[in-house]
Amino acid sequence: MAFVQLRCSEHDAAATAEFQRIIETSPNFLACHNTTGAGDLLLIAVARDLDNYSAFVKTTLRRLPGVTSIRSNLSLREMKSSSQLPVIRGEI
């Protein structure tokens, strides 16, 4: 699993729509978040192994419209994973 931070030079509607289409149709992407901070987007991506991830970077990530920077952090071990939110009913 890789956590991928992207910076983009284009934010117009056409580039954003094409970017979203690619993200939604690629099985390698598990999640995509528009973020604050140094990058514009944070992706969670998966690959079989490092060679497969390298090919994925070359054939998919580097071809995303408007991307000017790619920073990958590979997960060595998952320490916790949950999709439950710590919200008590009636507090929202």
CATH code at 43? 3.30.70.920
Task: For residue 41, give its domain range.
Answer: 2-74
Amino acid letter at 44? I
46: in domain: yes
Q: Are 47 and 58 in contact (CB under 8 A)?
A: no
Length of the chain: 92
85: in domain: no
| The pLDDT of residue 48 | 95
Domain count, the chain: 1
86: in domain: no
> pLDDT tens for residues 44-55?
999 999 999 999
90: in domain: no
**pTM confidence score:** 0.82
> pLDDT tens for residues 1-41?
999 999 988 778 888 888 899 999 999 999 999 999 889 99
22: in domain: yes
69: in domain: yes
89: in domain: no
CA distances in angstroms from 37 to 5, 8, 34, listed in the order given? 10, 13, 10
DSSP assignment, residue 59? Answer: H
